[in-house]
Structure 1
Amino acid sequence: MPHPTSEEGKGLVGGGHGGRVARLIDSDILLSLRASGLTMVAAVIVVAMFLGAAFAPLIAPFDPFDPAKIFLSDASIPPRWQEGGDPRFLFGTDDQGRDLYSAILYGLRVSLVVGGLGVLLAAAIGITLGLVAGYLGGRVDAIIMRIADVQLTFPAILIALLIDGVVQALLRGHAREETAVPVLVISIGLSFWVQYARTIRGSTLVEKSKDYVAAARLVGLPAPVIMIRHVLPNVIGPVLVILTINLGLAIITEATLSFLGVGLPPTQPSLGTLISIGNKYLFSGDWWIVAFPGATLAILVLAVNLLGDWLRDALNPKLR
């Protein structure tokens, strides 16, 4: 079946991935990254935290999930450099005797997995609904956008809290612990899809009026093929920025839910769970139990947001 022959179609669609890769290499995106010292620091922090989470079993000096290596006699030991500290525990220990540095590495892994899968699910839902709404228009567009408008009246954290709470209330015992991660991912995904849908819909409304889409219709390509093969590659750019920024929001959402006790159970500690545990001992003098997980969460989210701001400026010449 012939491909759309308009010059616009060739440039945006026919050129395929090779043209986009060449434009990326020839662009000044990487140059702008190297020119911003703050962004470079943020990138190094994000990469370091991702690597630390990925290789936690190799880096962490202790396994916080192994009861045979946890002793209550080691509980509430201050950081190594403080009086009463133990050289074995860099950041000290929590109330159960777990090495806090090891717990943060493992907790960081859980937070990144939940946040990453959550934003990917939100993007998948939002992109699909945005494409359908923008391309088909009419009643379908009205229904999808009214649902999005209703959801925008509620904070994302409230929607995630509602979904997570309802599902967890229906589950009992081991089933609740085993499904904690999938439930959190679904809760975050259903909370953040609206922004993707509205962005993709607006871009699709512009793209569907162009010549290459008209040419694709003339040669008889079905609507799903036109949306996926031709329209989607040309509207996906803004989604990359939203993904980056929403990753930080998703991590905060997971931490908030876990802090409130409706997210991950204590047997699967994330940064939010560690902060929740440490908050109980903050006024007893054991400040390190909440300080280090909290600082890790704050630094991670700040670094991710800085990368998102840089990516937004780099992909939009008008903002440079």
Structure 2
Amino acid sequence: GQPPFDLLNFYKAAQQTSSNSGKQSSQQQNSATDSSKPDQIDDCANDLSDIAWAVTADGWLLVCGESADEPKLIRHNEDGSVVETTQVSHDNESSYSGKLSDGGSVWVSFSPGTVGRSDSEGKTTSQTQTDEIWFAELGKSKGSKGNEKGSFGAKLPKHDAKEQVRYLDELLRLSRKARKSLGNTMTELHGCVNGPDGDYSKQIAAIDATTSNRREMLTALEGAPVDRIPSGNVLISELKAAIQPSLEADIAYGEWARAIDSGCGDKRISAAGNAASDRATAAKIKFSKRWNNEIVPAFGVAKISHDQI
């Protein structure tokens, strides 16, 4: 009979053939599902499949990849200006993002259907609601009918300024409702109230819950359309700039809490956490002023104080 290694090589070759066949089948399936892609959107290269696309009032976006979990390219046409990047990530099942050569970013979010761009400083330059969007994993959507739910249970917005403001207002209100104050938690940790051998898992869990809340809010803001709101790009940039350092502060406080749980070593509150918290406070004040002075009079939503963000 044949030597054992020949049998092994035969098995490997069969496995490779099966894998290639599976990829081709997956690409054919994606192509079939995507048969109604609008004509104005480019096609992917022969070795890649369409895994997501979106149409907006001012252009389109295309994501190409080997599979839905393996994006390789994002191409974005905005008012006839096309950018492309191969530095692409699949952030979660409902979004893709990419780093641009100028240091900026481009992204697409399935729910509520948004295409966005930012500059090298992280400031949002556009965040536009889609007219139509398709993800290989999620199917197709032609915009919110006003009864679907997004992050924190907020109703997704229809395609007008009042609805986009209402969505932001709900995100702020519902995220605040789901987030507990950490004042008592920080006091307990600072005082090492349970002693050096005590259990601080309750305090750690409270900080972790707030951290998760901040992460969810940032993800929600990436997908919140603001193209119909006057100065919407500035508004959403300022809100993101308030939430990001809040998240950084909570992460630092969580690390400090775990150090306290290991024996009440350095009880001084995390300097890194305090510095991030100070940056967050300044940004929250800036955002709340714009919200209260520009958005509230124009759209009739409730005022907000910086310590509610």
TM-score by length of 1: 0.28
TM-score by length of 2: 0.29
- Ranked by relative contact order (alpha carbons within 8 Å, sequence separation 6 or more), the top structure is 1
Q: Which has the higher strand share?
A: 2
Q: Which has the higher helix share?
A: 1
